[in-house]
Amino acid sequence: MAAVTGTLKLFLCGDVMTARGIDSVLPQPGDPRLYEDYVKNAGDYVRLAESVNGPIPRPVDFNYIWGVALDEFELRQPHARIINLETAVSRRGRPEPKGINYRMTPENFPAICAAGIDCCVLANNHVLDWGAAGLADTLDTLSNNGMCSAGSGLNRLSAEAPAVLPLPGGQRLLVFGLGTPDSGIPPDWAATDKRAGVARLKDLSMHSLRPVAERILKYKNPGDRVVASIHWGGNWGFEIPREQVRFAHALIDEAGVDVVHGHSSHHIKGIEVYRERLILYGCGDLLNDYEGIEGHAAYRGDLGLLYFASLAPDGHLQTLELIPTRLHRFRLCRAEGDDRQWLHDTLSRECAGLGSGIRPGAQNAFELRW
């Protein structure tokens, strides 16, 4: 992690789904068998992507999937890099009877390390796709690679505890992972005192907020910065539910959260700055194997953003730079031409109702204004 000199620079993104087709093209593919209704082999997702965008080299190196993101990391030098890792990392376990089960082989985890990721949020609806054994392997893999995680654990205490990223001067960045039922997290995935699982909220009521706020305030020391990373809502639709807005505002008002990092939607959503704190309601997918899958074309799930937020020492937002991307042959490329314009126009429209907007920034970026 780079040294912090006053301003804290964060990289944030939406779902990173490096299972199935992506796992198949990396150097150490896992078992390709799938348990889906229509697709039984992970290689079919590779062939589907190739049918629309051309051949994908096999194997690709571990850097391949990140494409232009690596250039942006080098240019912008974020102090901490946080992703929502939406897959188990395991060769073990039984597939949960839920229709779609994601996992990547631990031998391919260097593909996550290649981006210098500091923290993987695991409070999502795929981390337990291969049961408690798959979750245990995921946690072990992250730990063995010196990577923090938040939002899942071997019991309630560990699932609810923050990832703690040290900053110079004795300060810390705390990342809390949370997940909601409407993102598809089953009730029996909730971690308990005796059961591994996810830090799952029952709902987004103020009753549910209270223990979360108490927990955050218990862990937070003076000078610490806090990210609340929440897997919430459905996969499609630009509308932001009123309860999400209320809950995000309350995290800032009552728990001293500096950034609300929302994900689950497969496409970008609007951005708000509330009391000088950043709220990302839906970051969209960053990496997946959906190329060639039809449906929901109006949402352009192949287009995404790299989010680079700069926070002042007191946690208020100084700048948010957004790098437009397009997923092509399982690799992040720059979104250009009509694709870039679509991202600009869509984000402008969705931000307008939240009191923010988009303007051209430096070095290929859009910049948030508020």
For residue range 5-20, list pLDDT tens digits in order. Answer: 589 999 999 999 999 9
If phi over 0 gives left and psi between -120 and 50 gives alpha, with beta otherwise, what is residue 195? beta
Q: In the prediction, which pLDDT does 125 show?
A: 98
- Helices 206-219, 242-255: axis angle to 10 degrees equals 30
Q: In the prediction, which pLDDT does 171 show?
A: 85
Does 361 reside within a domain?
yes
For range 163-175, the mean pLDDT: 91
Give the domain CATH number at 253: 3.60.21.10
What are the φ and ψ backbone dihedral angles of 185, each rounded to 5 degrees?
Answer: -80, 115
Tokens of 304: 């995404």
Q: How confident is the model at residue 168 (pLDDT cuts 50, 70, 90)?
A: confident
Does 226 reside within a domain?
yes
Q: Look over the chain and give the mean of its residue pLDDT values, rounded to a whole number.
A: 96
Does 313 reside within a domain?
yes
Paired strand residues for 231: 179, 263
Q: How confident is the model at residue 209 (pLDDT cuts 50, 70, 90)?
A: very high
For range 51-59, the mean pLDDT: 96
- Tell me: pLDDT of 300 over 90: yes
Q: How confident is the model at residue 295 (pLDDT cuts 50, 70, 90)?
A: confident
pLDDT tens column, 325-342: 999 999 999 999 999 999
Does 37 reside within a domain?
yes
First CA to last CA across the chain, in angstroms? 29
- Tell me: pLDDT of 3 over 70: no
For range 280-303, the mean pLDDT: 95
- Tell me: pLDDT of 181 over 90: yes
For range 102-113, the mean pLDDT: 98
Does 201 reside within a domain?
yes
3-state secondary structure of 139: helix
What is the distance between the alpha carbons of residues 14 and 84, in angstroms, rounded to a whole number?
Answer: 6
Q: In the prediction, which pLDDT does 1 show?
A: 54
Q: In the prediction, which pLDDT does 166 show?
A: 93
Tokens of 223: 């000078």
Supply the range of the domain harboring residue 219.
8-369
For range 307-314, the mean pLDDT: 97
Q: In the prediction, which pLDDT does 294 show?
A: 87
If phi over 0 gives left and psi between -120 and 50 gives alpha, with beta otherwise, what is residue 318? alpha
The single-letter code of the amino acid at 304 is G
Q: In the prediction, which pLDDT does 2 show?
A: 53
Tell whether pTM > 0.85: yes
Does 3 reside within a domain?
no
Does 346 reside within a domain?
yes
Is the Cβ–Cβ distance between 106 and 37 less than 8 Å? no
What is the distance between the alpha carbons of residues 260 and 228, in angstroms, rounded to a whole number?
Answer: 5
The domain tally of the chain equals 1
3-state secondary structure of 132: helix
Does 1 reside within a domain?
no
